[in-house]
Amino acid sequence: MKKLRIALGCDHAGYSYKEIIHEMLTKEGFEVKDFGTFSEQSVDYPDFVHPLATSIENGENDLGFLFCGSANGVAITANKHQQIRAAIAWKNEIAALARQHNNANVLCLPARFISVDEAKQFANTFISTAFEGGRHQNRVDKIAVC
């Protein structure tokens, strides 16, 4: 089975979490593309979110993870892209449901509100959970405004 290609991005508040998840995914054998930021220096998150989202839309990456303090800004920005379904998770069940019911392709994690261990757990759940399709497919098909 082909390993997923995973895109990572963050702002300064999510930098340390991104680095930890990057290391974890690399060790697990995933192909990882890091869109930055690359330090804890204050940055504007859209500068990193838009390229990540575009890479998923054009098929260069399969899934993405975004990290910031609350996860709100990165989720709002990512969801401006028509083919992106970005979900914020603060519990493992939310990460699973984002994939199962919404076919989310980007998970946004609030670094100031979850632990590193939770971030790892949520990332693994998101990657390993499949979209259920069925009754959910009709709803997902209605999300994009084209």
Q: Any idea which residues carry the catalytic annotation?
A: 68, 101
> Vertex 20, ends 50 and 118: CA angle to 5°?
95
Closest CA to 92 of 115, 72, 74: 115
Residues 124-144 as b/e (b if ≥16 CB within 10 A, e otherwise) read bbbbeeebeeeeeeeeeeeee
Q: Cα angle vertex 88, ends 104, 128, to 5°? A: 45
Strands 86-88 and 5-10: unpaired
DSSP 3-state of 58 = coil
